[in-house]
A and B are shown apart, each in its own frame.
Chain A
Amino acid sequence: MTALSPIVEFKSVSKRYGDGPTILDQIELTAQAGDFISLIGPSGCGKSTLLRLIAGLNPVTEGSITIAGRTPAQEAAELAFVFQEPTLLPWLTVARNVELPQTLRRTASAERAAVRDRALDLVKLGDRGGAYPRQLSGGQKMRVSIARALTLNPKILLLDEPFGALDEMTREHLNEELLAIREQQAWTAFFVTHSVAEAVFLSNRILVMSANPGRIAHEITVDLPSPRTSETRLSRPYQDLVAEVSRLLRSVESL
């Protein structure tokens, strides 16, 4: 796949649940392979719904979504979803949790173990495979959840506010780790967040959404150099972008 082929395409996509209000209205969106797209906006702007549509967890009401030319339901194997909560099975060890997607696909145990170990190493939890989720901190649980998604070797990674419940330090640290992992596994990311700083740090594109109904109000291109590190946060271009996105976010929130 070349760098400029669209991997996800929204054509006039609208979404309503039953007879309820329009959650997403006429969304047009094209993502190139390798994009890291953050979705930011007020509550009720439909950013989580947008992820669920890509994942095929809910059908679109109008319009169409194609993923590498196919429908979300056909393409589910290429997708991984990281939820807001770690959603680990408390009765399984960390290792078994990370293996779960492969277990459900009935992958042979040797391959399952290899994939699992690689993913645990990526999130730096290689030595915690035998622990149970309750023995881990919030940040560690989230890393297990990300490792589980990575075992699918996804083309597209959907992340729904994965670091929202974590403290600022842990969040910044995990942001850096996420980008480091991306150096080794090239996926296209859709990342829902409430944090402007996080969106600027991670993305190459930020979509600012407005609510009632949900629309894409602004798009900002982030052209900060990589690799991005904790130093990046001190740079002038980064801080200017944070200020600009914050301003745009305030403008849609006061609509």
Chain B
Amino acid sequence: MRRHALNILLPAATGALVIALWYAIRHGLSEDFKFLLPTPDEIIAALRDNSETLGRAIFNTTKGALLGFGLAIIGSGILALLMSLSSLVRVSLYPYLMILQMTPIIIFAPILILWVGPGLPSVVVITFLICFFPLVVNTTQGLISTDRNLVELFKMYRASRWQEIRLLRVPAALPYFFTGLRIAAVLAPIGALVGDYTAGSSAGNGGGLGFQAIIYSSQARYPALFATAAVTCVLGFVFVAGVLTVSWFALHKWHDSYQHNDH
């Protein structure tokens, strides 16, 4: 009980301290530099004043993030399945997946605009590329790490290859898949933001949070810029919370990682 109260009180105290410091620093700044550090109340006011623009930007960024994330889940699932079926496929592709992961996607952003067009298509492709690697690596690992005894059991019962995949390898890979999904969920909104920052477009009201950040930055509207950052942060939390919820439903009844929530 006492532990529980501390778990809430301590972070709240830290937050209060940071905000107090924030106001203190701002107070200490000379009048000429005060605009560089907007206070929390100014940020909240900016959030209210720009709610319509930011709302649209959130919608566009979320759309890009969800599409890229979803396509990465589907694409990585298919590739992971192929790689798990054949070590030859795995050996052939793995180095290039590593190279893809090491390549800073942002360098390709300008040319992506030329390839697939500005706005949503570019945002989706960049999000997809950023989410793909952790998903494919974890899911493949899960699909090839099936308990040998269980594989033998299926062999003993003369299960078909497809039954082995569907009833054994895929469910056994779920915990690994969700590990990858949690990483990808953190990356998806960031990927969409980066994509939008470099390849965003205002055409047809299609600009997202990244695009909005450029505008606020160039117009020196710093409270609105901070508000954009805060909104992006919330979006990230929503993505992660969504994945944790799905993961809980899929695993809590049987997986050891949820053991303590059982009773």
Residues in A lying within 8 Å of B, measured CB to CB: 55, 57, 76-77, 81, 83, 85, 87, 89-92, 100-101, 103-105, 132-135
**Given A81-B153, A91-B255, A92-B254, 17 other A-B contacts at CB below 8 A?**
A55-B156, A77-B158, A83-B152, A83-B153, A87-B147, A87-B149, A87-B152, A89-B150, A89-B168, A91-B171, A91-B174, A91-B254, A101-B157, A104-B157, A104-B167, A105-B157, A135-B262
Q: Is the CB of B156 within 8 A of A57?
A: yes
B59 proximal to A (CB < 8 A): no
B-side interface mostly: helix
> 22 pairs across A/B with beta carbons < 8 Å?
A57-B155, A76-B156, A76-B158, A77-B158, A81-B156, A85-B149, A87-B147, A87-B150, A87-B152, A89-B150, A90-B254, A91-B253, A91-B254, A91-B255, A100-B167, A101-B157, A104-B159, A104-B167, A132-B253, A133-B254, A134-B254, A134-B259
**A56's closest neighbor in chain B, by CB?**
B156
Rounded to whole angstroms, the CA-CA distance of A87 and B155 in the bound complex is: 13
Residues of B near A57 (CB, < 8 A) are 152, 155-156
Q: Pick the 5 closest A-B CB pairs, nearest first.
A: A91-B254, A87-B149, A90-B254, A104-B159, A91-B171
Output the residue of B153, B172, B253 with the most chain A CB within 10 A.
Answer: B153
Q: Which of B152, B156, B171, B253 contacts A89 (CB 8 A)?
A: B171
Q: Which of B12-55 contact A (CB under 8 A)?
A: none
Residues of A near B256 (CB, < 8 A) are 134
Q: Is the CB of B153 within 8 A of A87?
A: yes
**How far does the Cβ of A137 sit from chain B's closest Cβ, in whole Å?**
15
B163 proximal to A (CB < 8 A): yes
Residues of A near B150 (CB, < 8 A) are 87, 89
**How far does the Cβ of B134 sit from chain A's closest Cβ, in whole Å?**
23
**How far does the Cβ of B241 sit from chain A's closest Cβ, in whole Å?**
23
Rounded to whole angstroms, the CA-CA distance of A170 and B260 in the bound complex is: 27
Residues of A near B163 (CB, < 8 A) are 104
B176 proximal to A (CB < 8 A): no
Rounded to whole angstroms, the CA-CA distance of A147 and B163 in the bound complex is: 21
B154 proximal to A (CB < 8 A): yes
Residues of A near B254 (CB, < 8 A) are 90-92, 132-134
Residues of B near A81 (CB, < 8 A) are 153, 156
Residues of B near A90 (CB, < 8 A) are 254-255
Q: Which of B221-263 contact A (CB under 8 A)?
A: 253-256, 259, 262
Residues of A near B157 (CB, < 8 A) are 100-101, 104-105
Residues of A near B172 (CB, < 8 A) are 91
Rounded to whole angstroms, the CA-CA distance of A104 and B167 in the bound complex is: 9
Rounded to whole angstroms, the CA-CA distance of A80 and B148 in the bound complex is: 18
Rounded to whole angstroms, the CA-CA distance of A101 and B149 in the bound complex is: 15
Given A89-B150, A91-B254, residue A103 in contact with residue B167 (CB < 8 A) = yes
**How far does the Cβ of B163 sit from chain A's closest Cβ, in whole Å?**
6
Given A55-B156, A100-B157, A134-B259, residue A83 in contact with residue B174 (CB < 8 A) = no
Rounded to whole angstroms, the CA-CA distance of A135 and B152 in the bound complex is: 24
Rounded to whole angstroms, the CA-CA distance of A77 and B167 in the bound complex is: 20
**How far does the Cβ of A72 sit from chain B's closest Cβ, in whole Å?**
11
**How far does the Cβ of A53 sit from chain B's closest Cβ, in whole Å?**
13
